[in-house]
Structure formats: structure tokens, C-alpha cells
Amino acid sequence: MMLTSKASHLHIDLADKGGADDYVTKPFDVASIPDRVAALLRGAGIARAALEGAAAGDAIEDD
């Protein structure tokens, strides 16, 4: 995820080519960021429970 002030098509294309999964330009709604991060993590197959465990200091095991 990229948070940036650069909103030109050139910068967005460069971010896509560089592997960015999301591109958010300023100004943005701060309240929307956790939802966007959660969506990216879902897309990556990371379960919320695993993240909550990591936040609590538990080990995350990869099957």
C-alpha cells in the first residue's frame, strides 16, 4: 500500500509496476485506512485471528 501526495497517472502506473496493491493519495480519509489494510491482508490470505495473536505476542505458525 502506498500513501502519497502524487496523484498523476505516471506515479500510479509506476506504483502498479513496482508491485503496490493499493495506492492512496492525499487527502485521504484516515478512518478508511484500517479497512484497506484488512482487505489487503485478506487478499494475501492472512487471517485476522493470526494477526490478533501476533499483536498479543503469540507465535504464528505457518502450516
pLDDT, residue 56, reads 55
Residues 6+ apart with CB under 8 A from 28: 3
Which DSSP string do the residues of 14-35 spell out, in sequence order? HHHHTT-S-EEESS--GGGHHH
pLDDT at position 8, please? 92
Quote the CA–CA distance of 63 and 50 in Å, as a whole number: 12
**pLDDT tens for residues 3-49?**
899 989 999 999 999 989 899 989 988 988 888 888 888 877 776 66
Mean pLDDT along residues 49-63:
57
- Which pTM does this prediction carry? 0.59
Say if residues 33 and 24 touch (Cβ distance below 8 Å).
yes
